[in-house]
Structure 1
Amino acid sequence: MRAVIYCRCSTEEECQRDALIRQAAEARECVRRLNWSLEDEYIESRSGTSTRGREQYQRLFADLLRDRFEIVVIKSQDRLMRNTRDWYIFIDRLVTSGKQLYLYLENRFYNKDDALITGIKAILAEEYSRELSRKINNAHRNRQKTGSALMLTSNTYGFRKMPDKSLVLVEEEAAVKRKMYELCAAGLGSRRISRILLEEGIRKRNGNPFSDSDIRRMIRNPINKGTVVMNRKHYDFDTRKTVKNPEEQFFIYEKCIPAIVPEELWEAANREIDRRRNIPEERENVEYGRNKGKYTLSGKLVCGLCGAPFYRTTRRRKKDLVHEWKCRTYLEQGRKKEGRTGGCENIHLKEPVLFSVLENMDLEEHVFFAEANSSLRLSAESGSSLSEPALIEAFVQIMKECLEEQEKSARKNLEQTEKKIKHQQRLLLDKYLEGIIEEPVFREKQYELQRKLEKRIQKPVERAEKHGQNLVQNNGVPDRPGQIRQFLEQDHSISKACTLCLLEEIEKIRVYPDRLELVQKGGKSIIAVKISHMLY
């Protein structure tokens, strides 16, 4: 029997890392004792109650669909996750793929009859984690509210945290920060400041140069003028996200730590940043940081030479705008040259040509990138062609059926309304003939009902005229499927949609001078695409 082991500890403390080593040794011993063949190991020290961000678990979850092993060995149920939904999703894939789960702490296999008990255990584990998160958040908030402990990390540049949790200035680093503020207040941008610091040999504690985003973040931080702002964010257990608190819940303590720069210099530097970014006054308090995805390729293109991200730039060429992606190191430090530290010699990518390369990739060869797309997956399972004309035809057919169904429903609704109005007219006439209502009332109501009937009948005709169609010639259905087909064929929308689907399954695209490496989510390299000078 082929087996794999999965091990995970709950925290990343040193003692827990030792526990993870022991846990992995116990799992290997269990496999050896039961005479199974150990095919792979999935070991990670990432904490967390859900499966998000756990690369080894994601790799195991994907390998359940492959014929690589028959048994998954774990210590206990909560080593996989403490989330009820994720537990049931894992068990569903485990059972449908014909694999087994062995819990060596209980010395038994998971059985389908255990679904109720294990479900209850998952609920209890999740509730335990939720209660623990609530207590931790409350404890943090109380400490921040009373100001008894400043919630600052030990590697805050310019400060050193003492054993009694007080902060003292690191004068050498504080001088670097003062220089940043002075240069910014004098009108220099963050990239220019970064180059000046690099030319003077000034680097961060880890030896890397200061990036433009590092400099902007430091200048924006009020801690440098002696003000500490706490309770800005909190961790939401249910959404698994760090949520920003409203400003009225902030705890602001002024002049509670040594100031690196005077408040006047801090204000001047921040005003200069606002001026350069052209930020209106009502947006001065907006928090800026990592690009949240303004462009489709944001956060995906990475330099294969230096590891820095690629940024989108725009330049004007005659009357046209040219969009290119360039390495951040190049933008900050220029080209790498002999006798000069820093810089990057990687290529620039023209955005339209890059998208053209991705669109022209063979859909059938790379359909696994679009596994989340149900229509592509169904087409692959049924053996039908995944060519662009076939996808266009399938999409148009679906739209045609939807439009026909919509038109049938509209006609049925119209018939029911017409029948109801005519019934009301007959009742009105009977009451008039019986002398129950007077003639003026009868004529007024009769006119009102007739107008309502004509208005209901006129609506489909107006809708057809609006779309430039003839309902009679098209059997009551406008030729909108033909318009959709024409639009898809002219604009290559299917290729663009497949490219977007492809990008959703790609975690990174590593850029080298001669090739692009597409890396699937989970860290596994999928394909290398050779590129020509047309890209740059």
Structure 2
Amino acid sequence: MVRAVLYARCSTEEESQKDALVQQVKEGEACIKEQDWLLVDRYIESKSGTTTKGRKEYARLYADLLKDKFDVIVIKSQDRLMRNTMDWYLFVDRLVTEQKQLYIYIERKFYTADDALITGIKAILAEDYSRELSKKINNAHRNRQKSGGKVIMTSRVYGFRKLPDKSIALVEEEAAVKRRMYELCAADFGTRTIATILENDGVRKRDGQPFGANDILRIIKNPINKGCAVMGRFHYDFDTKKTIRTSSDEWYVYDHKVPETVSEELWESANENIRKRRSNKKAESSADVSGKNGGKYHLSGKLQCGLCGSPYYRRIRRRYKTGEIIHEWKCRTYLETGRNTGRLDRPQLRRVQLEHVEGCDNVHLDEERLYQLLEKNCLSSYQVDKEKLTRKMISLLKTVLKEQDLQPEIDRVKMQKKQIKEQTKKLVDKLLDGVLSDQVYTEKQKELDERLENIQVQLNRLEKKNNQKSFLKYRILNIEESLKNGDIIEKASVAGMLEEIDRIVVFPTYLELHFNLSKMIGVTDMNLLPESEQDCIRIEYDNLFNYRQGMVEEREQIVQLLKENPDYKAKDIARELGYGLSKTQYRMKVLQEEGKIQFHRDGRTGYWEVLKEGRENH
């Protein structure tokens, strides 16, 4: 039996007319049934046909053309597939190559190679029609905006409702939520904190999901909430198939165009706080990030909190005393709410009592220490042969240089140059002997001069490349030195390991590295792997990232050392434990304040006494 699939498409404008997409699907299914074909799949979408971009069902159909899944594609008409000439020819080429058939049921015929010219013309006409239609729509929008016409707003805009006469009204319950967002922002709460407060109070979006920080930021920045409509900010370009942001001098701004959700004063106050926060954030991270987007990090999307299940995000801060830039990965729940222990909420949230939202007590991961930990594990688990890798890398670089040996080409060009000079000399001799006339000599001489000039240009280019090659030889020596003595291979090994890791689950005292073994070996069914195959590595690190507990342990080490050596000074303890002197002095000061150690002076010297209990119980 012939296997058939159905492709149906309507633009959103067409779909609104008498359920056009539903009707198109019914017609296609009826056609397949009439032909006594087997319907194996449907590709149905509501998208514009001017481009294939964003059309997931068309992309799936285009990919399935390469599979032995069906024999015939059934469509209503050619423009249902696309209105773009190039996309049409790409589709037809794959259709013919894979020996599939296309049946257009409105014409009751199969597409054949003889139809190529006609269908090509149809595609061009359809594309031109769409281009003209796009121009008319853009022009109509521009005229409406210029004359201050109705505000175009979808039904999805939170806080507003479109009435039958196309006017806009407030949804008071939602407007009250937005007012609270503005009030909190004006009171110096950040968008992330506002999101946490709303979640704690059970406030949700229309789809039942909690408001995110970005949702709140978009609402606060939107001037529509103070009744101001800004029209003409974006323009759709048919040829590039992109929505382009227009310059501000092309916008049309109309105050009091829709009902006000908040006053202009409150709107300005909230947005001023947003600007201040953005300015401060830029100042803090300017020493580390170049450009708007620093790019995706190796650990992005891999770190997961083992306590609450949230992802870990990368954050940048400055060390208080030195101003040093520190990169840390922190649990999202902690970033939004703070700690559970002792309800150490984020500073802003301490001003608001949270009852329903929990914090997270997991550790923060110092990026440098984390990479050192992973590097150590990588080298011990995978036995990276540094010397072997260095030899292989240098061998590859030298092979590339050898393949680019330009000396034979330079010698050949030099020989051509020498031959032309000899021809020029012979030409002069023939002129002097009267064999050539002045006119013939001039023409020949001009031809040889042009050839000589071209050859000289070619020779200069080759010699320049050859000089660069000599420089590359010097660079290879430097690269070899860096590979042998630097940590490039170690870092590359960690990066390679991270690519194979599916996720890293973080716990207060250890990490779990989960590997997707099926992905690594190209097996899609994990049941094919033996059950004994390990897909998780556990890395213990005690209190490496638990800084508070780490400080407690460091103080305990000092206490133990003073028990054994009561005459030790701070510099002796620092030397013994490998700490800095200032760090040791600070730890000893804290121990004294806690009543755990006490110094007894005896003339110019003295000794330390370790007290059995703290000051509270002493």
Structure-2 residue corresponding to 1:18:
19
Q: Is the 8 A contact 1:301 1:309 kept in 2?
A: no
Conserved? CA contact 2:394–2:476, under 8 Å? no
Deviations, residues 120-164 of structure 1 (Å, cap 9, x unaligned): 111111111111111111111111111021233344333333333
CA contact (8 A) 1:50 1:81 kept: yes
Q: Could you tell me how far apart the structure 2 residues matched to 1:330 and 1:182 are?
A: 24
Contact 1:8–1:43, Cα closer than 8 Å, also in 2: yes
**Structure-to-structure mapping, 1:436-475, within 5 angstroms:** 463=468, 466-469=471-474
Matches of 1:510 and 1:148, distance apart in 2:
52
Q: 1:210 to 1:105 in 2, by over 3 A?
A: same
Give the match for residue 228 of structure 2.
227
Asked if 1 retains the 8 angstrom alpha-carbon contact of 2:199 and 2:210, the reply is yes
- Deviation sequence 1:228-280 (CA, Å, 0-9, x none): 21100011112222110111111111233333333333222222212212279
- What displacement does 1:119 show? 1.0
Letter of the aligned partner of 2:278 in structure 1?
A: R
Tell me which residue corresponds to 1:197: 198
Q: Residue 166 and residue 56 in structure 1: after superposition, are their counterparts in 2 closer, same or farther (change >3 A)?
A: closer
Change (3 A) 1:316 1:292: closer
Using the size of structure 1 for normalisation, the TM-score is 0.65
Deviations 1:185-220 (CA, angstroms, capped at 9, x unpaired): 222111111111222232223332221111111111
Q: 1:99 & 1:312 partners in 2: Cα distance?
A: 48
Equivalent residue runs for 1:159-238 within 5 Å? 159-238=160-239
Deviates more, 1:185-194 or 1:262-271: 262-271
For structure 2, the residue ranges without an aligned partner over 5 or more in a row are 283-291, 341-354, 379-388, 428-455, 507-511, 527-533, 546-618
- Indicate the larger mover: 316-325 or 162-171: 316-325
1:107 paired residue number: 108
Q: Is this contact kept in 1: 2:9–2:46, CA < 8 A?
A: yes
Cα distance, 1:165–1:32 mapped onto 2, change above 3 Å: closer
Query: In 1, are the aligned partners of 2:234 and 2:246 still within 8 Å (CA)?
Result: yes
Q: What one-letter code is carried by the residue in structure 2 that aligns with 1:47? A: S
Secondary structure of the equivalent of 2:205?
A: coil
Q: Secondary structure at the match of 1:41?
A: strand
1:383-462 equivalence runs, <5 A: 399-400=400-401, 403-404=404-405
Residues 431-452 of structure 1: CA distance to partner in whole angstroms, max 9, x if unpaired? Answer: xxxxxxxxxxxxxxxxxxxxx9
Q: Which residue of 2 aligns with 1:90?
A: 91
| CA displacement 1:1-35 (0-9 Å, x = unmatched) | 22222222233665558332332233223223323
**What residue number does 2:261 align with?**
260
Structure with higher Rg: it is 2
CA contact (8 A) 2:328 2:364 kept: no
Contact 2:159–2:174 (8 Å) recurs in 1:
yes
CA contact (8 A) 1:2 1:38 kept: yes
CA distance in structure 2 between the partners assigned to 1:320 and 1:203 by the alignment: 37
**TM-score (normalizing by structure 2):** 0.57
- CA 1:267–1:498 in 2, change beyond 3 Å: closer, same or farther? same
Structure 1 residue 345, shift from structure 2 partner: 12
Amino acid at match of 1:7: A
Distance change (3 Å), C-alpha of 1:210 and 1:101: same
The answer on whether the counterparts of 1:299 and 1:309 sit within 8 Å (CA) in structure 2 is: no
Secondary structure in structure 2 of the residue aligned to 1:404:
coil
Aligned partner of 1:56 in structure 2 is 57
Q: Distance in 1 between matches of 2:226 and 2:299?
A: 33
Bigger relative contact order (CA 8 A; separation at least 6): 1
Distance 1:14 1:253, change over 3 A: same
Bigger shift: 259-268 or 134-143?
Answer: 259-268
Matches within 5 A, 1:117-128: 117-128=118-129
SS at match of 2:235: strand
Partners of 2:87 and 2:40 in 1: CA distance: 24
Quote the Cα distance in structure 1 between the aligned partners of 2:303 and 2:66. 30
CA RMSD of aligned residues (A): 5.5
SS for the counterpart of 1:278 is helix
Query: How far, CA to CA, are the matches of 2:163 and 2:61 in structure 1?
Result: 43
Q: Which residue of 1 aligns with 2:245?
A: 244
- The CA distance in 2 between the partners of 1:494 and 1:415, in whole Å, is 50
Contact 2:185 2:270 in 1 (8 A): yes
Question: SS of 2:405's equivalent?
Answer: helix
Amino acid at match of 2:262: V
- Code of the residue aligned with 2:150 in structure 1: it is A
Q: Number of aligned residue pairs: give it.
A: 447
Query: Are the aligned partners of 2:138 and 2:236 in contact in 1 as well (CA < 8 Å)?
Result: yes
Could you tell me how far apart the structure 2 residues matched to 1:33 and 1:345 are? 65
The yes-or-no answer on 1:278 pairing with 2:288 is no
Say if 1:463 and 1:294 are closer, same or farther in 2 by CA, change over 3 A.
closer
Distance 1:251 1:414, change over 3 A: farther
State the Cα distance separating 1:399 from its structure 2 match. 4.2
